[in-house]
Amino acid sequence: MKKVLILLADGTEEMEFTITYDTLVRAGASCTSAYVPAQERTEANSTFSNPPFAKGSRGINILPDTYFSPQEASPDKYDLLVIPGGAKGAETMSTSSPVQHLVREYLREGKHVGMICAGSLTALTSALPKQPVTSHPSVKMQLEKDFEYSEEPVVVSGNLVTSRGPGRHSFELFRNMLQ
């Protein structure tokens, strides 16, 4: 059974998280969600052992499976890393140096990384090499200078998969990556 790690932060787009999680479980994957705290929360509350609810972009609270730990999220434990969007959630994940390191580590190990919508900003902050990507139109200008930007709904560049938003094409592709 393939194992998937889906990151979650305050401000994550609920649909991008829940539909991805659900689709992958239905495809037979074992999914784990990990809460990535904002920088200020990390420093102020570094003693949390249980993750708090993540407040999604539309105000829906989601209880993640675990608190994000780079050691527990390593590519030797998972086959696929997914970074959903949602402006605030994508900002939290894309500015997290442990998440940036993890993205590079997954790709270096030949594992798949999926970035949905504004989650594609993490490709930029992770200093990935110039390659084809797509994203939500709101972050296009930030990406097009450093990447070969595409308007396609889903872009596959080696083991990096980016999508413009939640949709049939994204979820079918993630599901197929687990075959």
Q: What's CA 83's distance to the chain center, in Å?
A: 1
Cβ pair 129, 147 in contact under 8 A: no
Which one of the listed residues 13, 14, 112, 136 is annotated catalytic? 136
Q: Is 16 a catalytic residue?
A: yes
**Contact predicate 150/120, CB 8 Å:** no
Q: Is 72 noted as a catalytic residue in this protein? A: no
The token pair at 18 is: 């829940």
Does the annotation count 101 as an active-site position?
no
Element (H, E) at 156: strand 154-157
Residue 58, amino acid: R
CA angle 130, 93, 28 (to 5 degrees): 90
Among the listed residues 13, 14, 112, 117, the single catalytic one is 117
- The DSSP H or E segment spanning 3 is strand 3-8
**Spatial separation of the C-alpha atoms in residues 118 and 28, rounded to whole Å:** 27
Nearest to 27 by CA among 106, 82, 107: 82
Out of 13, 14, 16, 105, which one is annotated catalytic? 16
62 C-beta neighbours (distance < 10 Å), count: 18
- Point out the residues that are catalytic: 16, 117, 136
